[in-house]
Amino acid sequence: LNIAILGAAGFIGTNLILALSKDEDNKIKAIDVSKDYFIDDVKKSAEIVESSFDENTCYKEFLREQDIVYHLVSTNNPTNSNVNIGKDIADNIMISIKILEACVECKVKKIVFISSGGTVYGNKVNCPINENDVTNPITTYGIQKLSIEKLLYLYNYLYDLDYSIIRLANPYGPYQRPNGRLGVVTTFVYKALKGEQLTVFGDGSVVRDYIFIDDAIRGIIRISSGNYENKIFNLGSGKGESVNRIIEILKEKVNPNLDVKYLDARSVDVPINVLDITRYKEIAGEFEMMSLEDGIVSTIEFFERKGIGCECK
Ligand SMILES: NC(=O)c1ccc[n+]([C@@H]2O[C@H](COP(=O)([O-])OP(=O)(O)OC[C@H]3O[C@@H](n4cnc5c(N)ncnc54)[C@H](O)[C@@H]3O)[C@@H](O)[C@H]2O)c1
């Protein structure tokens, strides 16, 4: 397959390319702002194209003759959304419309969009949350994801452009940047190994659906390679874990005397989010996902292989 990945140098793009390139029949075009953002293993496995994604980008240039296009571009994340509401919505929707138009013109067979299972539903939810439940995001990020989902529906209706939407929960693990803005598991593992303080917003009772990146990538590939009647899939572990549980595991695995600071809760954080993954299970069959504990151990091992050893034991 000819596969183009937009926003390819990030956490999900990197892991997706490493997985897709195992199949020699896949020819991957990886597009991101700078060549320097890509890790060496990805540079060896894909054709790298440097481009920003904005209103003036010529998307047709890299979408010609592509079978599948992965749209992984987002100019913001849940924690920094709600600050520049107009700009965030305008930028992300404009970029997505340009991508969709180019897909139609280039006769792309399918576009896969990574939406957000953690934000599109909002805070008045009954967990586990089903794909058909009410969506009332409390962040611009969630609203832009939902709007792009509706645009995919529209472009399919108007032009027959096939698509899959993956409402991804909270992936964590290798190649996630531990910068503290996104990905509490990876950030906490990194900080614990470095002997740095962990900051928790609220009392640590916030519950999320964490999915190890290998399980997430397997799901993304499975959903995008099938021809399913359902276009929207929740993808998570289907299990809820609190922030305090992550800390408990890190105390056990890394350092019993972790330095943890509790700050005020943030308005962008919904108290609980756990996805119902029945629809995904129906297409994926019976499988075991990695437990949070094993996933944390794998993430620790990854950082240690990369030379970030435990400086605190
Ligand atoms: N990581 C998560 O927790 C998570 C959860 C649900 C959904 N998603 C979505 O999945 C997608 C990928 O997430 P990720 O974690 O890999 O993000 P990431 O930030 O690690 O990577 C995104 C990549 O896109 C590139 N990019 C962003 N805006 C760009 C622009 N205007 N021009 C050119 N390049 C641009 C960045 O350089 C970066 O390399 C995003 O749409 C994100 O919203 C992520």
Q: Above 50 in pLDDT, residue 313?
A: no
Q: Which of 172-181, 262-271, 275-284 has the highest mean pLDDT?
A: 275-284
Q: Which atom of ligand 1 is nearest to the CA of 182?
A: 3
For ligand 1, whether the C-beta of 235 sits within 6 Å is no
CA of 256 to the centre of ligand 1 (A): 34
Residues 6+ apart with CB under 8 A from 255: 192, 195, 310, 312, 313
For ligand 1, whether the C-beta of 13 sits within 6 Å is yes
pLDDT for 175-224, tens place per residue?
A: 999 876 679 999 999 999 999 999 999 999 999 999 999 999 999 999 99
CA of 301 to the centre of ligand 1 (A): 24
What secondary structure does DSSP assign to 254-273, as a single string?
T-TT--EEEE---TT--SB-
Extract the tokens encoding 75: 């100019």
Q: Which residues pair with 180 in a beta bridge?
A: none
For ligand 1, whether the C-beta of 114 sits within 6 Å is yes
For ligand 1, whether the C-beta of 112 sits within 6 Å is no
Q: Above 70 in pLDDT, residue 105?
A: yes
Q: Which atom of ligand 1 is nearest to the CA of 117?
A: 6
Do residues 62 and 79 make contact, with C-beta atoms less than 8 angstroms apart? no
For ligand 1, whether the C-beta of 171 sits within 6 Å is yes
Mean local confidence (pLDDT), 266-291: 91
CA of 71 to the centre of ligand 1 (A): 9
Burial classification of residue 147, based on how many CB atoms lie within 10 Å of its CB (0-12 exposed, 13-18 middle, 19 or more buried): middle
Report the pLDDT value the prediction gives residue 78, as an integer from 0 to 100. 86
Burial classification of residue 44, based on how many CB atoms lie within 10 Å of its CB (0-12 exposed, 13-18 middle, 19 or more buried): exposed
Q: Higher confidence at residue 141 or residue 80?
A: 141
For ligand 1, whether the C-beta of 131 sits within 6 Å is no
> What does the mean pLDDT of the chain come to?
94
Do residues 165 and 227 make contact, with C-beta atoms less than 8 angstroms apart? no
The pTM of the whole model exceeds 0.75 = yes
Confidence of residue 308 (pLDDT cuts 50, 70, 90): confident
Q: Above 90 in pLDDT, residue 49?
A: yes
- DSSP alpha helix (H) spans, the chain: 11-20, 40-45, 60-63, 85-105, 140-159, 184-194, 213-225, 243-253, 278-284, 292-305
Report the pLDDT value the prediction gives residue 311, as an integer from 0 to 100. 47
Extract the tokens encoding 206: 């916030």
Q: Above 80 in pLDDT, residue 278?
A: yes
Q: Above 90 in pLDDT, residue 266?
A: no
Do residues 155 and 162 make contact, with C-beta atoms less than 8 angstroms apart? no
Q: Name the CA dihedral angle for 108, 109, 115, 117, rounded to a multiple of 10 degrees.
A: 180
Q: Above 80 in pLDDT, residue 310?
A: no
